Structure 1
């Protein structure tokens, strides 16, 4: 269930209440006239089944509530109510299959912002991965994958394409390109520093690395894994399954490829630099393509289900 807290202008409250009452899957409606002070208006509370949430939010936006009042949504972890059970039963589809487009757009907007924190995480992840490729240490590679925040901008680009949101697409693209560029530049300097300390060496980079050589050897398996990971990552976002997203993060070779490219560049190894760059671009393309196709499929399936529900006797 989702809990909605609305501040509505007094002259729109009746419209809002009517919309909630006519939306299948809503319950626990409460209206507190004149309770809101900033902005001034009425306070309207209700619960709605997740699978009916997107329809209700779209209707509230059409009424202009986000401009004249406020719409706040939070997940209800536990609701002991027969009415809530009935609302979830009446709502079409399954909660796990529902996509809250407003929430997805808002979440990807936040995750795809080029902030100091984002730059810090992607840079640290790339530096950890640099240690992993030089030491041929798979554990460090997995750790770097888990730390990397790059799936946020990738999801932002996919969402922007499906939702036709050019500003989100531009923001996500800037975060993705600038983030990797900054992280690789810092990692080149980090590689020189580690070489000066005698911890990195060209001999180690050029030696046989059975555990990490894959980061500069792109092939069809790289693209296929990226596509599968993109599908899984998108589903984890739309279904709010953060645990699955961690698994996605450690299954694609993005940060390790960027790290290997940076270290190879610091030693002038163009072969590994180019191979790692190809690996990076192939993974990014696969994830974005999979994300777009997954969201389009979810949108089409959910729209078809809504049409069937509305036309059912």
Structure 2
């Protein structure tokens, strides 16, 4: 269930109440006249089944509530109410399959912001991955994958393509490109420093690395894994399954590929640098293709469940 808290101008409150009352899957409607101060108006609250939430939000937008008032949505972790149970039973479809497009757009917009925190995570993840590729340590590679925040902007690109939102697409692409560019440049400097203090060496990079050699040897399996991870990551976003997102993060060789390319470049190992760059681009392409297709399929399937 979702909890909606609305601030509505007094002249639109009756229309909002009628809309909520006729929406299948709503319960616990409450109206507090005149209590809102900024913006001035009434407060309307209700609970709605997740599968009915997107339609209700779209209709509220049509009434102009997002512009003249406020729409806040919260997830309800526990609701002990027979009315709520009936509302979920009455609403068509399953809550786990429902996509709240406004929520998805907002989440990917936030994750696609080029901020200090985002860049810091990218830098840390890339430097951890650099240590992992030089030491041929799979544990460090997995750790770098988990730390890297790059799936957020990729998901933003997918959402923007489906929703035809060019501003979100531009924001996500800027975060993605700048994040990888800055982290790779810093990783080159990090590699020089580690070599100067005797912790990195060309011999380590050129040695047989059975645990990490896949990073600079892209093949069709890399693309297949990226496609599967892209689909899983998109599903985890739309269904708010954070545990699945962790699995996606450690399935795709994006940050390790960027790190290996940077370290290889610092040692003039251009073959490895090129192979790692190809691995990075292949994985990003696979995720974007799979994520976009997954959203399109979800959108099509959900339309078929509506009466």
Normalised by the length of structure 2, the TM-score is 1.00
Distance 2:87 2:143 in 1: 43
Which residue of the partner structure matches residue 130 of structure 1? 130
Which residue of the partner structure matches residue 66 of structure 1? 66
Which residue of the partner structure matches residue 205 of structure 1? 205
- Structure 2, unmatched stretches of 5+, are none
Kindly tell me the number of residue pairs found equivalent between the two proteins.
307
Q: What does the per-residue CA deviation read over 1:93-141, in whole Å, with 9 as the maximum and x for residues that have no partner?
A: 1110000000000000000000000000011000000000000000000
Which residue of the partner structure matches residue 18 of structure 1? 18
The runs of 4+ residues in structure 1 deviating greater than 3 Å are none
SS in structure 1 of the partner of residue 209 of structure 2: coil
SS in structure 2 of the partner of residue 114 of structure 1: coil
Q: What does the per-residue CA deviation read over 1:247-301, in whole Å, with 9 as the maximum and x for residues that have no partner?
A: 0000010000000000000011110000000000000000000000000000011
Residue 66 of structure 1: CA displacement?
0.6
1:163 partnered with 2:163: yes
Distance 1:143 1:271 in 2: 25
SS in structure 2 of the partner of residue 5 of structure 1: strand
SS in structure 2 of the partner of residue 32 of structure 1: strand
1:182-201 aligned within 5 A: 182-201=182-201
Which residue of the partner structure matches residue 240 of structure 1? 240
Distance 1:156 1:100 in 2: 15
1:85-104 aligned within 5 A: 85-104=85-104
1:299 partnered with 2:289: no
Distance 1:90 1:118 in 2: 42
Distance 1:56 1:151 in 2: 29
Q: What does the per-residue CA deviation read over 1:211-250, in whole Å, with 9 as the maximum and x for residues that have no partner?
A: 0000000000000000000000000000000000000000
Residue 172 of structure 1: CA displacement?
0.1
Which residue of the partner structure matches residue 285 of structure 2? 285
1:65-84 aligned within 5 A: 65-84=65-84
Distance 1:240 1:265 in 2: 39
SS in structure 2 of the partner of residue 78 of structure 1: coil
Residue 305 of structure 1: CA displacement?
1.1
Normalised by the length of structure 1, the TM-score is 0.98
Q: CA RMSD in A?
A: 0.4
Which residue of the partner structure matches residue 50 of structure 1? 50
Which residue of the partner structure matches residue 111 of structure 2? 111
- Structure 1, unmatched stretches of 5+, are none
